[in-house]
Amino acid sequence: MALHLSISLLLTGLTGQSLGVTRVSVKAGDSVSIPCLYHPKYTSHVKYLCQGYSFISCSCAVKTNQQSSGRFLISDDREKKVFTVTIKDVREGDTDFWCVVEINEGSDDGTYFQVSVTRGKKRTLYVDHQEVTGFIGGQTTIKCYYQNSGQAKWCRVGGPCVTQSQGSIDGTTVFINETPPSVFTVTMSGLKMEDSGWYWCSRGDLQMPVQIIVREKPSTSKFSAQPETCTSPELVSPSTTNEAEKPSTTDEDAPNRCEGEVLITRAVRSPDSDQPRKQQECLARESRAAVQASSVNSVHLLLAHLFYWCKQNGCLNRIS
């Protein structure tokens, strides 16, 4: 999967002025996604990507009022005041570009950025993921890998930067930790919804943008069915049960006991009478069928009846 690199730029109304990313390092063959921020007064204007070193002579690659095709794509999010251009299959000649807002009466407003195209696996400055999600009140961590020298920075596009080991951006705490070899880690803690937006890590004259998306923490509540309230039958101790009241355990009574009764798979035997095999098989079948077809509450009720039946017949004292 091709790596998608993103560059955030702010069109302020001053042609050629950049308050954000000015240069990134991209490997040949990768795709580059470039979100370009613009002033609210340009919301309804046409936006486009212009390719070339000179703003006067650059050629239009793609426009928002035209269907995207080929290697260049564009989309405009008017609510967030950002339009995004994508350059697929970056080539060595894809080095100089302008994010441009079309001005109906006057010169168009453009902001320049440069793409340094490299070959091979080595990249000068990059991150694991350029889109990172965090939750309100939590924290998010970004690792910035570099092969160049210079001061480590973490900046909000069009906003302040943190250059020390600890600082804050718009009230959110930021930690920068150098973890050799060739990586520094940025941690933003105590996230707020307002922290959503574009940032970049920097080393030397290169920047690598990262989009932070802050969301509400998902609910962890679980729903469970409430069992019905049942009253268990009164249990009678075998020591207080009259022998005359105990159900018969003779072979003739076995079919009647099997019908509607549920017994555990462990057979109940009398010291003076052997349980017929047919009765055991019947009871086992009834037990399995009842357990599979019953809900949790039904199983509890059946077990209560079983326990009561065993109590009445002294089964608990005779289970082998």
Q: Splitting the chain (320 residues) into consecutive groups of 10 residues, what average pLDDT does each group show?
A: 48 44 86 84 96 96 90 89 87 94 92 89 84 96 93 89 95 93 95 92 90 89 48 42 44 42 40 52 58 55 67 60
pLDDT at 282: 55
Sheet holding 139-146, edge to edge: 125-127, 139-146, 183-189, 172-178, 166-169
pLDDT at 122: 74
pLDDT at 34: 79
Q: In terms of pTM, does the model score above 0.85? A: no
Give the integer Cα–Cα distance in Å for 158 and 209.
12
Q: Are 113 and 97 in contact (CB under 8 A)?
A: yes
- Alpha helices per DSSP H over the chain: 254-258, 277-293, 296-313
Give the integer Cα–Cα distance in Å for 169 and 152.
16
CATH class for domain 124-215? mainly beta
Give the integer Cα–Cα distance in Å for 105 and 162.
39
pLDDT at 40: 93
CATH architecture of 23-118: Sandwich (2.60)
Q: What are the CB-based long-range contacts (under 8 Å, 24+) for 179-183?
A: 182/145, 182/146, 182/147, 183/143, 183/144, 183/145, 183/146
